[in-house]
Amino acid sequence: MRVPKGWVHVLAKEIIKELLQKEQIELKVTEEQAVKLAEELLLEELTVEDRLNAEVRELLKQFDAEIEKGRLDYRKLFEMTKKKLIQERNIII
């Protein structure tokens, strides 16, 4: 996640505030509930790449022996695997 976690609440609050001021949304919940929902959505989206990286690391563990022997380049294999998963899952990073 490239945005500090402490900023997520502030960003969510500003987004909801701005949308309300521009009358682009009408709330059916309290503003605080809307901010909390926006915060959850932001965190979910901001951590997609982190979760993907963790999954790729887990997948590459099966090749540890080959990587340690120098037969495979971990960085290159990591990037190729990540790119493939991004394409397969239509993930936008």
Sign, Cα dihedral of 24, 25, 26, 32: negative
pTM of the model: 0.70
CA 56 to CA 77: how far, in whole Å?
Answer: 9
Residue 52 has pLDDT above 80, yes or no: yes
The full set of domain ranges for the chain reads 5-46, 48-89
CB 49 within 8 A of CB 93: yes
Task: Give pLDDT, residue 68.
Answer: 85
Nearest to 79 by CA among 58, 61, 45, 56: 56
Q: How confident is the model at residue 1 (pLDDT cuts 50, 70, 90)?
A: low
Q: What is the pLDDT of residues 22-46, one digit of tens each?
A: 999 999 999 999 999 999 999 999 8
